[in-house]
Amino acid sequence: MGFFGQFFVLAISAIFIQNFVLARFLGLCPYLGVSKKLDSAFGMGMAVIFVMTLASAFCYLIFQYLLVPYHLEYLQTLAFILTIAALVQFVEMVIQKNSPALYKSLGVYLPLITTNCAVLGVAILNITPLGDGSRYNFIWSVLNGFLSGVGFTFVLLAMAGIRERLEMVEMPKSMRGMPIALILAGIMALAFYGFMGMKI
Amino acid sequence: MLILNIITPLATSMASSIGIPVIILGTMGLIFGLVLAFAAKVFAVKLDPRVELILAALPCANCGACGKAGCAGYADAIVNEGVSVSLCAPGGPDAAAKIAKIMGTDAVAMDKKVAVYHCSSGGINNTKWKYAYQGIESCKSAVNIADGPNLCSWGCIGFNDCFAACKFDAISVDAEGMRHIDLAKCTACGACVAACPRKLITLIPINRNVSICCSSLGKNPVARQICGTEQTCIACGLCCRKCPVQAITIENNLAVIDYTKCIDCGLCATVCPTKAIVDLKAGMRKKAEIEAEKCIGCTICAKICPTKAITGEVKQVHTVDKETCIGCEQCVVKCPKQAIKML
């Protein structure tokens, strides 16, 4: 398989088969919390893609060149949280100063996802050995981070689209809001379960 | 010696297994901390302290009446974009005065407004239907199908999106599905104005009690036939001609009141042949009365009276017919001797 073949496989698996929200059940908090409106879901999705890509890159470097040489792999969670938190904070400051427009669209969501498990999850999954014992290299880690973010955004937008329409439907009072959202999440997860057996 | 032989390697191994991670993580933390501290200085964006002060003065209902995303957005817009300080409807004049003080400007006199419907139709019994709509119970949704299920394509669809949009509990729906606005509770936030797909609701000053209760642009016989209450504006122009201050005009077969001119006399509501103009104070206005000792019989009041309620000969004391007087206070304004009082 050439580069693009591998890229395609990674894309399909990150977006559909191993979707962060519906297959790995990571990042459920924004999935339910920020999916009421399509606008805010889109902003959140873009922020997640952005942070996941950056976090993948930096956490990979920290792991490869700081933790592995000293046999400190067991500290990965601690080190990654530290890295992600500092990174997001730093990026937020830079954006606020240099690009007010981008800050307005992403700004509110950036601090929210600092401690999101999906971001930590992608950093840890990037350095976890695959089936044949090998690990992603730097480029594939970054690509995996980006594509996982795309998968997250895709599901978040689908959820927000459905919830916006559900708002207009007449339903029992006890089902309104969060209960129907949870049922909806379950049905969507079932649908994505269909991808589970796929091998590419 | 023996003890030392055991302790030394143990201590070295402990030192390396604990010390190295501590040093590495500690260094990481230190570097990140320094970078962030450095970045905070370099990339510092100066925030105006007035923004927070203004935010504290706002009611923080985040209703969006000002046109911004929320109270924080409005506070930011006041300071950075020079937006008017009097846009906050729920905060009213109090909030405007507080903000004006923070900004160092004079408080702009703020008219309290309320929402009114420009349609007398609505609900189950007051609407004539084009077809039986079965779908999502929302005006926004229903209006998309063949221009709405009600016959009048300018009128109320009756699924009461306005009721759902009101955050202040000011809109109520009665047993027949007809919506009503509680003017005491209305804060003029404009949520219902935005929610109505037919644009039947507008905000008018609270001290004006007359409003055109119709939005139909249709021509006379048809417009009236398709209206659920038959209280349609037929664009006869009677109100325009009778209005003492020319505040009403006919635009596209519909009367429109200019509230900057309107003096709230209620005359238009009494002359409207189809009762399409609603006067909330009808019959409740004070009646004019002429004080006999002050009246010099100049006949100005009799000439100005729009309903010819004042009669009298020249140089004789004039009298007001209480039945015909609608309490427009025109005569009070014009009387040169201040002989007329409203009782």
Give the residue carrying structure tokens 């001290």.
Answer: B207
Interface ipTM = 0.77
Where are the domain boundaries for CATH 1.10.15 in chain B? 49-103
A180 has a pLDDT exceeding 70: yes
The pLDDT of B65-87, averaged and rounded, is 78
Which pLDDT band, with edges at 50, 70 and 90, does B31 fall under? very high
Q: What would the DSSP string read from start to end of A29-46?
A: HHHHHS-SSHHHHHHHHH
Please report the pLDDT score of residue B111 as a whole number: 66
Please check the confidence at residue B70 and state whether its pLDDT lies above 90. Answer: no
Q: At what angle do helices A38-62 and A138-166 cross, to 10 degrees?
A: 160
- Distance between CA atoms of residues A146 and A186, nearest Å: 25
Angstrom CA distances, B255 to B115, B233, B263, B269, stand at 18, 7, 16, 12
Give me the pLDDT at residue B284, please.
80
pLDDT of residue B110: 59
Residue A38 · residue A161 · CB < 8 Å: yes
CB-nearest partner of A79 from B28, B40, B140: B28
Scanning every residue of chain A, which has its alpha carbon at the shortest distance from the alpha carbon of B29?
A82
pLDDT at A150: 94
- Say what percent of chain B tops pLDDT 70: 96
- In this prediction, residue A53 has a pLDDT band, given cuts at 50, 70 and 90, of very high
Q: Averaged over A100-104, what is the pLDDT? A: 74
Cα distance between residue B289 and residue A62, in whole Å: 91
**pTM attached to this predicted model:** 0.55
Q: Which CATH architecture group holds B113-279?
A: 2-Layer Sandwich (3.30)
Token pair for B295: 């009246």
* Cα–Cα distance measured from residue A174 to residue A180, given in angstroms and rounded to the nearest whole number: 9
Higher pLDDT, A198 or B199: B199
Q: pLDDT digits over B269-308, tens only?
A: 888 888 889 888 877 888 888 888 888 888 888 888 877 8
A153: pLDDT strictly greater than 90 = yes
Tell me the nearest-neighbour CA distance from B25 into chain A, angstroms: 7
Query: Which residue in chain B has the smallest CA separation from A65?
Result: B24
The model's pLDDT over B49-59, given as tens digits with 9 standing for 90+, comes to 888 888 888 88
* Predicted confidence (pLDDT) at residue A149 exceeds the cutoff of 90: yes
The whole-angstrom distance between B138's CA and the closest CA on chain A is 7
Examine the pLDDT at A73 and tell me if it is beyond 90: no
- Asked if B21's CB is within 8 angstroms of A70's CB, the reply is yes
Using the 8-state DSSP alphabet, how is residue B150 labeled? Answer: B
Is there a contact between B20 and A90 if contact means CB atoms under 8 Å apart? no
Q: Which residue has the tokens 């030192």?
A: B15
pLDDT at B109 over 60: no
Choosing among 1.20.950, 3.30.460, 2.60.120, 1.10.15, the CATH entry for B49-103 is 1.10.15
Identify the CA nearest to A75 among candidates A90, A89, A59. Answer: A59
Eight-state DSSP code of residue B48 = P
Average the pLDDT over B116-123 and give the result: 88
What CATH number labels B288-342?
A: 3.30.70.20
- Residue B136: its chain A contacts at CB < 8 A? 168-170
Query: In this complex, is the C-beta atom of A182 within 8 Å of any C-beta atom belonging to chain B?
Result: no
Q: Which residues 107-166 on chain A approach chain B with CB closer than 8 angstroms?
A: none
Question: Cα(B307)–Cα(B328) distance, rounded to whole angstroms?
Answer: 10
The band of B20, judged by pLDDT with boundaries at 50, 70 and 90, is: confident
Q: State how far residue A16 is from chain B, nearest Cα, in angstroms.
A: 32
What pLDDT is attached to residue A108?
Answer: 67
Distance from the B54 Cα atom to the nearest Cα atom in chain A, whole angstroms = 20
The string of pLDDT tens digits covering residues B156-173 is 988 888 998 888 888 988
d(CA A155, CA B322): 71
Q: What pLDDT, in 10s, does the model give residues B232-266?
A: 888 888 888 888 888 898 888 889 998 888 888 88
Q: SS3 of B340, please? A: strand
pLDDT tens-digit readout, A107-143: 667 777 777 888 899 999 888 887 777 788 899 999 9
Contacts of A66 in chain B (CB under 8 A): 24, 28
Give the residue from A124, A48, A60, A137 showing the smallest Cα distance to A88: A48
pLDDT of residue B30: 94
In this model, does residue B19 exceed pLDDT 70? yes
Contacts of A183 (CB under 8 A, 6+ apart): A175
Q: Which residues in chain A are contacts of B140 at CB distance < 8 A?
A: 168
For residue B39, what are the contacts with CB-CB under 8 A and spacing of at least 6? A90, A93, A94
pLDDT level of residue B145 (50, 70, 90 thresholds): confident
Which residues of B fall within a CB distance of 8 Å from A168? 136-138, 140-141
Q: Which amino acid is at B51?
A: V
Averaged over B98-125, what is the pLDDT? 78
- Mean of per-residue pLDDT scores for chain B: 83
Q: How far apart are CA B93 and CA B196, in angstroms?
A: 27
**Where exactly does CATH 3.30.70.20 map onto chain B?**
113-279, 288-342
B245 backbone dihedrals φ, ψ, rounded to 5°: -115, 15
Q: Angle at which helices A3-12 and A138-166 pack, to 10 degrees?
A: 40
What is the band of A145 on the pLDDT scale with cuts at 50, 70, 90?
A: very high
User: Residue type at B17?
Assistant: S
State residue A92 phi and psi, 5-degree precision: -60, -45
Higher model confidence: residue B243 or residue A147? A147
Q: CA nearest A109: which of A121, A125, A91, A83? A: A91
Signed CA dihedral, B39, B44, B45, B51: sign only: positive
Tell me how close the Cα of B37 comes to any Cα of chain A, in angstroms: 9
Residue A196 near chain B (CB below 8 Å): no
Which of A79, A168, A170 lies closest to B25 in CB terms? A79
| Chain A, chain B: beta-carbon pairs less than 8 Å apart | 51
